[in-house]
Structure 1
Amino acid sequence: MVSGEGVFWLSHEPTLGYAVLDGLREGVRLAGAVEPAAIRSRVNGYGGGALCAGASGLFAVSETQQILRVMPDGSDVTELTREGSGHFGGLVTDDTRSRVLAVREYEGAQSLVAIDDTGQIRTLHLGNDFYSAPAVSADGQRLAWVSWQLPDMPWVESVLWTADVTPDGELANPRCWPSPTQGCIQQPVFEGDQLWVLSDHDGWWQPYRFSERLGQGLWHKDTTVELDHGNAPWQLGERHHCLFAQDGWARVRYHRGVGELWLNHSELLAPVRVAEDWTDFRALRYCEGHLYCIARSATVMDAVLRIDPLTGHIEVLAGGDAPWDDVAPVLPEWFQLPGGDEAVQGFLYTPRDDEEQSWPLILIAHGGPTSAVYPVLNPQIQFWCQRGFAVAEVNYRGSTGAGRVFRMALKGQWGVADVEDMERAADYLAAYGNIDGRRIFIQGRSSGGYTALMALVRSDRFAGGASLYGVSDPMRLRSVTHRFESGYLDWLLGAPGSTGQHWDERTPRYRAANISAPCIFFQGGQDRVVVPEQTRAMVAAIREAGGSPELFWFEDEGHGFRRQENQAAMLEWLHSFYRKHIRKPNEPTENLS
């Protein structure tokens, strides 16, 4: 977040297990100036937009879901809201009125609200199931936002809203603007009197200039580049594009899984790519002649960058450190499976200077499942490569970054299309160089754990599998999942119908007898998404079928392990599991430890 007061961001503290406020003001680092406090939004379960900065101040959402007002120098922190006020996210400042706007989740519903400097909460708009991405014009006279209705997810169908803002801060003449054809809108931003959004109604998330004429919405696409300029909005507050004065812009384009940063200074000039050493970009902001963003790379840790749009000069404000002093990270190799318009692609990491002539492979199914993998530094992947394993991350059908058709291909096909693509990837990579096709393992987190388990159910292609807090009983998950995803499983699997038979066929727990490969499970005792009982039931079902699954329990973790010591323990146990079940050519399993 950027304002005239400085540059601010959230830094994850692995020793604490949460994100804290950090920043740079007048050349002085803010880190340590504010008492460490967890900053996190819980709206929709995934949060986002927990920090904003503007002329009216610096605001953040605490772990207890209170909105905090923080002095830019860290000298004072004030709770604006009271406990029990709900969950807040998607924060933006309304500098005209010295207030902060937010999405509020309260008593099973959402609304757009404004919070003034006394903590008074004013409801601006309600009546839609979900809200995201409020954006206010610089003069404070217009507001734009995105909403969607159940059972949709925001990457299936959503709509743009605009409204006028009265002098006393109320909304007038709110108007809904569906896209010309079915699509998803995200990330509205104002530049002067112009409103820009990303929409995929023409097949890709591309930038559109939106305007109104005689009561009709006009959508002007600003590029013919058929690439996604954003990814699935799981969280509030994402920003993959921003505007400069005089028609200039900065945008992220996803090409072959890589996030590319492109700049353009005016309509008369051709766009140029900058920061080519970095492979993904988030939180783009422009302030006082400079572009700011969070950037990721395959070789260094995440960084906060300041870029001069005129020269392309990059200054690393924070982060960007080499992960190790004496070991260079293994770099990813892009691969694509044959398949025409539905070609699956991913990234392969191979061991360096390994004595083995053939490598075991860990095939990773990403979570979401409407998400993607990018070629960015992942210390856990480096852990495996340093121990003689190759690793491949796969963007199967349903992943983002390859257009709407590819993303929507998972509708009704979860547990089928994704599994087929993982199996195809295993076969394709088995023919690659030194990878041993007889020693391929599959693993995944959350929904990726479901894909891994269904792959073990469907075939004996894999030497073993790992489920990291993975889904094993979709029907059980459907009955307890939170409101945000309450229609998601029906979209992924198809409505259960009167018998739910096809759900049973795609439920790993009910097909545990088909799993012959060894498997290992990791589960958090505080997980509210994949509840602990689900993993216990899956492990019990495999044991009843004669298998010997391993289960490791972390009572203090939720959905996703945050504590550094728990992450390290999980890796060590996974390593022991994989080593135990590697069978080298002509070598009996019992000789391995």
Structure 2
Amino acid sequence: MDELPADAIYDLTRPTEITVSPDGDRVAFAASEADPDEDETHQSVFVVPADGSRDPHRLTRASGAGTIEWSPDGSKLGVVMVRDDDLSMRVGRDDEEDTGDGESVDGSESDADDEDDGAGPANGGDEPKPQVWAYDLELGGDARQVTERDEGVRDFDWGHGSERIVVSARDPTDEEREYIAQRRDDGPIETERLQHKYDGKGWLDTVTTYLFVVNIETREERRLDDATAGGIGGEGTGMQPAWHPDDDRIAYTTYEGTDGDDTYVQDVFVADAATGGIERVTDGEYAASSPVWSPNGDRLAFVGRAPDNLYVPFDVFVADLETGNYEAVTEGLDRTIGWFGMPAWIGDDRLLATIGDEGWSRFVEIGASGGTERVFGRQPRDETVRQFDTAGETVAMVRSDPSEGMDVYSLDLEDLGARRDGPDPRRRLTELNSGLLADYDHPETTRLTFESDDGTEIEGLVSYPPDFEPDDPDPRPTLLWIHGGPMAYDEPGFRLQTSFWTGRGYLVYNVNYRGSTSYGREFCEALRGEWNTVEVEDLLAGTETLVERGWTDPDRLFVGGFSQGGVNTAYVLTRTDRFTAGIAEHGVYDMRSAFGTDDSHKWFEHDFGLPWDEPEAYEAASSITDVDRIDTPLLLTAGEEDWRCPPTQSEQLYRSLRKRGVESKLVVYPGEHHNVGDPDRAIHRLETLGEWVARFDPERESETDGDGDS
């Protein structure tokens, strides 16, 4: 088959949100699609029967869709979306049926909570804002706009009775509105905030986010004056409101102290929608998130971890509001709760969640009083679960497979006990990528383990083209692609970028180095405050393993990564000249200067101390310190408005390499944050990566003109 082109991005459809109707009969999901004419990524919302008896029905295609939620009576579907009335219904390049898939529009990594378009008032933007829209699925017809807030809506939930919603939204004072108007006219940025930036939000102002109760028929709203957002973590969430199933209590997360810009603490509170009063549930011990009520309303589950240590697992906690007690019910599991699909109740005494379990996202059942059990053993280790939801007797999920794409599936709740050697009880509800999957080859993925220098066992994933035989290999060019985080993990799943490389004959090698989650606290915490140590040893040892097995051609060996993967790429290149060329994307290379220009100052303080107190720690974690040891050609990419890993970081490393005469190239994407979101730019990025590798690959360099930008 032909090599998968970079513009196959236009053929991708990626499920992003999923929710099951209260009776379990229907599944609603949102999916992203790239529009080649408008150079934008849009979100479509679909509804499909949970039994798979009909194809998905498209409700809308919007500029952006966030939270989607069924009303408690199942008659309506609420969606937070940015909607243009004249938006066409085009799908892909050929206006055909829904095709395509992927983990992000460009294969780069981005944080799940950084979905804002960055055009908010604090940045002088004047784009349409996200609002809550409601579809009446009994009467049919188009959605009805429920909110019309100047600053948009962050998040929402339905109230019992299905007649009201709670939303979180910014509500500026007159003085703040004047400042916002000045910013929209390119006025000066003024700040006295410690946390003055946040990736995806840009420059932060002082506008307060509140909870509002809104009547969906009259659109009348009431502000809960004491329920406000706070804390660094609050910048990346919408307070996550959760309405009690039977009364007027609303759970949410925030931080109430005066030092909100200097802490990751998030507490759980409960507000009364009738009186406006609030009650604290937790007492400042945790970075709490995702509160969810038990069906009978007696208990409240939430996710949390220590706020000063980002390397410890997220646990599930259950609070009894009558006694005021709460406890971690997954503490003995030593696995972090999955990034996709936060806990959901399956009865009054049990919860379902996904965990990261040795490079694999899988289901776990949790007792409300303690005790966990890994369930659905039928799921193979060569695929993964992304988003999920459950209601009634139905579980819906997004299944991701390296060679079969990402699709929505459902199964009966009772079938969570299915064993690996039995029939697969899942029902496939979508075929989002049939065209893309049929037109190009996609990789197989296998796991391998090896010992690092000190004997620690490390696991890696190798994705390879269909014509590669692991048991009788011929050495292949190999790209060591390093995951971000570092508190994350690689797992088998569909990635367009991986297919791009394997379609050109390359192996793609992902190593879950120490610092990765899903292997327990001790494994992850080994990297805390010790960057540029054990993770580099693990990456280099893994590389040698592939060479020794005869899988990798040592003369055609490349290394790259995005975010922390970019950070680690630079570390690796200060240690060895083993690699033919490198790709460092959206990384941090000078920790001292990053402390004052990015949005992660508190993380760095927890890891390394303050730069004026611990200069040696910052120097040791900065690859710029050892730039004189980098001789490998290096491509650097950055987002012009990336405040997680600012573009000045890439500029510093690029300038230093050029001064030393090292072949290097810098690509900065205007207006982009800690990802590359616009389809045209995502295509440019992937093409640029391919050209850079081909330029230095001794068997592909003739494909480029060779004069480059060095």
What band does the TM-score fall into relative to the shorter chain?
A: 0.7 to 0.9
Shift of 1:373: 1.7
Task: Please name the residue that 1:259 is paired with.
Answer: 361
Identity of aligned residues (%): 17
Q: Which amino acid aligns with 1:344?
A: I
The answer (yes or no) to whether the contact 2:45–2:61 under 8 Å persists in 1 is no
The structure-2 alpha-carbon separation of the partners of 1:438 and 1:413, relative to structure 1 and needing over 3 Å to count, comes to farther
Q: Separation in 2 of the partners of 1:251 and 1:390?
A: 33
Within the alignment, does 1:568 sit opposite 2:633 as a pair?
Answer: no
The answer (yes or no) to whether the contact 2:56–2:429 under 8 Å persists in 1 is no
- TM-score by structure 2 length? 0.69
The answer (yes or no) to whether the contact 1:512–1:542 under 8 Å persists in 2 is yes
Within the alignment, does 1:3 sit opposite 2:21 as a pair?
Answer: yes
- TM-score by structure 1 length? 0.82
Within the alignment, does 1:520 sit opposite 2:635 as a pair?
Answer: yes
Q: Which amino acid aligns with 2:653?
A: M
Task: Please name the residue that 1:454 is paired with.
Answer: 571
Could you tell me which of 134, 137, 140 is aligned with 2:244?
Answer: 137
Q: Separation in 1 of the partners of 2:151 and 2:375?
A: 48
Shift of 1:479: 1.9
Q: Separation in 2 of the partners of 1:244 and 1:273?
A: 15
Q: Which amino acid aligns with 1:279?
A: E
Alignment of 1:19-418 (within 5 A): 19-24=42-47, 29-31=56-58, 33-39=59-65, 50-55=67-72, 57-62=77-82, 64-72=128-136, 73=140, 75-78=142-145, 80-84=147-151, 88-96=153-161, 98-104=163-169, 107-108=205-206, 111=209, 113-117=211-215, 118=219, 120=221, 122-123=223-224, 124-126=226-228, 128-129=230-231, 130-131=233-234, 132-147=239-254, 151-153=262-264, 158=265, 160-163=267-270, 165=272, 168=274, 170-177=276-283, 185-191=288-294, 192=296, 193-199=298-304, 204-211=313-320, 214-215=323-324, 217-219=325-327, 221=329, 225-231=333-339, 239-245=341-347, 247-262=349-364, 272-273=375-376, 276-277=379-380, 279-311=383-415, 313-319=425-431, 321-322=433-434, 323-325=436-438, 327-338=440-451, 343-353=457-467, 357-418=474-535
The structure-2 alpha-carbon separation of the partners of 1:373 and 1:212, relative to structure 1 and needing over 3 Å to count, comes to same
Shift of 1:363: 0.9
Shift of 1:229: 3.2
The answer (yes or no) to whether the contact 2:131–2:148 under 8 Å persists in 1 is yes
Q: Separation in 1 of the partners of 2:478 and 2:222?
A: 53
The number of equivalent residue pairs is: 562
Q: Separation in 2 of the partners of 1:533 and 1:546?
A: 20
Task: Please name the residue that 1:469 is paired with.
Answer: 586
DSSP 3-state at the match of 1:273: coil
The structure-2 alpha-carbon separation of the partners of 1:402 and 1:114, relative to structure 1 and needing over 3 Å to count, comes to farther
Q: Separation in 2 of the partners of 1:342 and 1:151?
A: 36
Q: Separation in 2 of the partners of 1:203 and 1:116?
A: 38
Q: Separation in 2 of the partners of 1:326 and 1:504?
A: 49
Alignment of 1:434-583 (within 5 A): 434-482=551-599, 485-498=600-613, 500-555=615-670, 557-583=672-698
Q: Separation in 1 of the partners of 2:564 and 2:151?
A: 31
Q: Deviations over 1:201-232 (max 9, x none)?
A: 797544443325655x242636854433324x
Shift of 1:286: 2.2
Q: CA RMSD in A?
A: 3.9
More strand by share: 1
Please list every run of 5 or more consecutive structure 1 residues that lacks an aligned counterpart in the other structure.
Answer: 41-49, 232-237
Q: Which amino acid aligns with 1:338?
A: E
The answer (yes or no) to whether the contact 2:315–2:328 under 8 Å persists in 1 is no
Shift of 1:348: 1.2
The structure-2 alpha-carbon separation of the partners of 1:251 and 1:36, relative to structure 1 and needing over 3 Å to count, comes to closer
The answer (yes or no) to whether the contact 1:66–1:83 under 8 Å persists in 2 is no
Q: Separation in 2 of the partners of 1:463 and 1:270?
A: 46
The answer (yes or no) to whether the contact 2:657–2:663 under 8 Å persists in 1 is yes
The answer (yes or no) to whether the contact 2:41–2:679 under 8 Å persists in 1 is no
Please list every run of 5 or more consecutive structure 2 residues that lacks an aligned counterpart in the other structure.
Answer: 1-18, 83-116, 118-127, 172-204, 417-424
The answer (yes or no) to whether the contact 2:350–2:368 under 8 Å persists in 1 is yes
DSSP 3-state at the match of 1:310: helix
Q: Separation in 2 of the partners of 1:448 and 1:89?
A: 30
Q: Which amino acid aligns with 1:260?
A: R
Q: Separation in 2 of the partners of 1:446 and 1:264?
A: 33
Q: Separation in 1 of the partners of 2:284 and 2:368?
A: 29
Task: Point out which structure has higher relative CO (alpha carbons under 8 A, 6+ apart).
Answer: 2
DSSP 3-state at the match of 1:487: helix
Shift of 1:399: 1.9
Q: Which amino acid aligns with 2:292?
A: V
The answer (yes or no) to whether the contact 1:248–1:266 under 8 Å persists in 2 is yes
The answer (yes or no) to whether the contact 1:210–1:220 under 8 Å persists in 2 is no
Q: Separation in 2 of the partners of 1:298 and 1:465?
A: 24
The structure-2 alpha-carbon separation of the partners of 1:7 and 1:503, relative to structure 1 and needing over 3 Å to count, comes to same
The answer (yes or no) to whether the contact 1:200–1:404 under 8 Å persists in 2 is no
